[in-house]
Amino acid sequence: MMQRDWYKTAVFYQIWVRSFADGNGDGIGDLYGVYKKLPYIKSLGVNAIWFSPLYPSPNADFGYDISDYCDIHPDYGTLDQFKKVLDRAHEMGIRVVMDLVINHTSDEHKWFKESCKGKDNEYSDYYIWRDKPNNWNSIFEGKAWEYNEERGQYYLHIFAKKQPDLNMDNPKVREEVKKIMRFWLDMGVDGFREDVITFISKKEGLPDGLPFLPIVNGMPYYKDGPHIIEYLKEFREVSDEYGAVQIGEGPMTTVRSALKYLTGPEKTLDLMFSFDHMLADCFYTEYLHRKFDLVKLKRAFSKWQRALNNDGWNTLYLENHDHPRIISRYGSERHWKASGKMLAACYMFQKGTPFIYQGQEIGMTNIRLRDIAHYVDVSSIMNFNLFNTDDPINKRMARIHISSRDSSRTPMQWNGTKYAGFSRVKPWFYVNRNYKTVNVKAEEEDHGSILNFYRKCTELKSSSKTLIYGSYREFFPKNRHIYTYERKWDNISYLVICSFSSHGRHWNIPDEYVGRIGKLALCNYPMPVSTAISQKPRDLLRPYEVRVYRYKLK
């Protein structure tokens, strides 16, 4: 087996290509655009890319409904173009991870079209068909079952109607998955981010879920299902031949089940995306918004840090294509710069592999479109039509503004020219109105920008064994405004102090640090004259201030 531990020292950049950079001038981001921006990506101090799906797709769920696993969407380029990006990235020391979406396909995939034709062809059992549906709800669109006239049966779709679930219990389907994996691994990719992978094994008999739960009532019967480890082991064997990493997405996953995937002789996944820390201002989905609660956030962070401290390894992220922009949620658009930087440091120096989502590094924020008709994300539209529909329209729209996944999918803001330098022509989706100030070019020119702060963070993280391998300890967990944690390794320790307040706040130095001299390694305000930590046990933090102190122990 080849070495695959590289992920522990990696910093990932996630590309949702449709909105990254338009290289051929049709208003849609593509691989020509990515190729041109590789030097920019490299300049961020990252050494791996995760591509959200690049495959042919009718885009009912923007690429997560795949109609051909072994090709590139014509909007984005060709297989040759992909290979060019891959080879160039490798030359630059950047690894490439593909999205593997195998819980479901598109209903326009050849397998599904064949499966609809009847009960006894080669593809009949590729999907989950029933004469009578159970009571499961879909996560994206009404009931989880849709009737198909041609076949005269219902098919299961945990997500949108156009995303029929594959029947992973069928060994032929698993062989197809392995073929797909080999296709991309043979081309040279370095691993997979595996979409909702914890859902692929459904409980025999598909029992009814609790009737009163909206959306997720069937989840106990399809999350961490009976054969999941068995199936993942089969996929792991393929990955292992190539030394490829497997990063699983685990919606609503618990520490306990994550440990089953990540540790032990059965270890099937290298990394997992968990969601607990994305629920500090909402319940279940961002749409069910509530006031941001720092104590909740810290509890989630620390729970995962502790659980995976000895064995296992965390992913660290605050944004991706499924969540609205983090400054608009956990930070403050009014304190845009300070809070954008503080948020960068608050997660990146924890123990684990950091992921940065396109646009996060320049502090992109949520868009607020006037009409629900302007939104394109299937789940935003469902939430709008499902919850609190008696509320006045402005209230319902306010919830969309806070929660929509579309906020993370607006065109990347490269400069202050028309269409934010994303494209020469009108882009496929709305550009955020703040593009004149929030853009790469402006931030390249500003020494103190969010962008340059991200660079400092990745540099510090990658160059410090303490910040990579060191232990994690949180102080003052009950403090409602400040997050303080320590990383420690050998004789070096770091103290990371983050204010989540728009006011000045007093900060307490942990007892054992009182009187010790630390060097201020990073701060989002002009550095104080003295870089040594004050001997006073109390100190005032400015709004959204972050300080990272480095200590050398005797």
Query: Looking at beta carbons only, is 37 or 321 nearer to ligand GLC?
Result: 321
> What's the count of helices (H) and strands (E) in the chain, helices before strands?
14, 20
Nearer to ligand GLC, 85 or 196 (CB): 196
Using DSSP's 3-state secondary structure scheme, residue 545 falls into: coil
Shortest distance in whole angstroms from residue 99 CB to ligand GLC: 8
Decide whether 7 or 159 has the Cβ nearer to ligand GLC.
159
Q: Which partner, ligand GLC, Ca ion, none, binds residue 64 by CB below 5 to 8 Å per kind?
A: ligand GLC
341 binds, among Ca ion, ligand GLC, none (CB under 5 to 8 A by kind): none
The residue number whose beta carbon is nearest to Ca ion equals 30
For the CB of residue 26, give the shortest distance to Ca ion in the complex, in Å: 4
The binder of 521, among Ca ion, ligand GLC, none, by C-beta within 5 to 8 A per type, is none
Which of residues 354 and 427 has its CB atom nearest to Ca ion in the complex? 427
Query: Is residue 443 among the annotated active site residues?
Result: no
Which CB sits closer to Ca ion, 24 or 124? 24
Which of 296, 309, 365 lies closest to 332, judged by CA?
365
Q: Give the whole-angstrom CA distance, residue 19 versus residue 427.
A: 9
Among the options 195, 224, 361, 406, which is catalytic?
Answer: 195
Measured between alpha carbons, how far is 256 from 14 in angstroms, rounded to an integer?
A: 27
Q: Shortest Cβ distance from residue 95 to ligand GLC (Å)? A: 20
| Strand (E) or helix (H) holding 148 | strand 145-148
Q: How far is the CB of 230 from ligand GLC (least distance, A)?
A: 22
Tokens 């550009």 belong to which residue?
431
327 contact, one of ligand GLC, Ca ion, none, CB 5-8 Å limit per kind = none
Q: Which does 195 bind (CB under 5 to 8 A by kind): ligand GLC, Ca ion, none?
A: ligand GLC
Q: How far is the CB of 426 from Ca ion (least distance, A)?
A: 12
Among the listed residues 92, 91, 72, the one whose alpha carbon sits nearest the alpha carbon of residue 29: 72
**Alpha carbon distance 178, 192 (integer Å):** 12
Angle at 94 between CA 89 and CA 97, to 5 degrees: 90
Which of ligand GLC, Ca ion, none does residue 377 bind (CB under 5 to 8 Å by kind)?
none
Binding partner at 101 among Ca ion, ligand GLC, none, C-beta below 5 to 8 Å by kind:
ligand GLC
Residues at the site binding Ca ion, with contacts judged by CB under 5 A: 22, 24, 26, 28, 30
Task: Scan for tokens 């929509």, then name that residue.
Answer: 404
Which single residue brings its beta carbon nearest to ligand GLC? 64
Residues 6+ apart with CB under 8 A from 527: 520
Cβ 19 to ligand GLC shortest distance, Å: 13
Closest to 127 in 3D by CA, of 107, 143, 141, 100: 107
For residue 536, give Cα distances in angstroms to 121, 330, 506, 513, 515.
77, 29, 11, 10, 8
Catalytic one of 249, 286, 319, 545: 249
Question: Strands across the sheet with 129-130, in order?
Answer: 129-130, 153-156, 145-148
Does the annotation count 249 as an active-site position?
Answer: yes
User: CB-based contacts of 447: which residues, under 8 Å, 6+ apart?
Assistant: none
What minimum distance in Å lies between the beta carbon of 63 and ligand GLC?
Answer: 8
CB of 409 to ligand GLC, least distance (A): 10
Contacts 24+ apart (CB under 8 A), 141-145: 141/378, 141/382, 142/382, 144/218
Cβ closer to ligand GLC: 75 or 377? 377
3-state secondary structure 7-68: HHHCCEEEECHHHCCCCCCCCCCCHHHHHHHHHHHHHCCCCEEEECCCCCCCCCCCCCCCCC
486 binds, among Ca ion, ligand GLC, none (CB under 5 to 8 A by kind): none
Helices marked H in 404-449: 440-445
Binding site for ligand GLC (CB under 6 A): 61, 64, 101, 159, 195-196, 249, 321-322
Question: What's the rounded Cα separation, in Å, for the pair 530 and 541?
Answer: 15
Q: Which is nearer to ligand GLC, 247 or 402 (CB)?
A: 247
Q: Which is nearer to ligand GLC, 195 or 486 (CB)?
A: 195
Q: Provide CB contacts within 8 A for 353, sequence distance 6+.
A: 7, 8, 10, 11, 12, 271, 313, 314, 315, 316
> What's the length of the chain?
554
Distance in angstroms (rounded) separating the CA atoms of residues 549 and 554: 16
State the DSSP code for 143.
B
Q: Least distance from C-beta 317 to ligand GLC, angstroms?
A: 12
Estimate to the nearest angstrom the gap between the alpha carbon of 231 and the chain centroid.
Answer: 23
In the list Ca ion, ligand GLC, none, the entry touching 22 (Cβ below 5 to 8 angstroms by class) is Ca ion
CB closer to ligand GLC, 61 vs 224: 61
- Hey, which residues are catalytic here? 195, 249
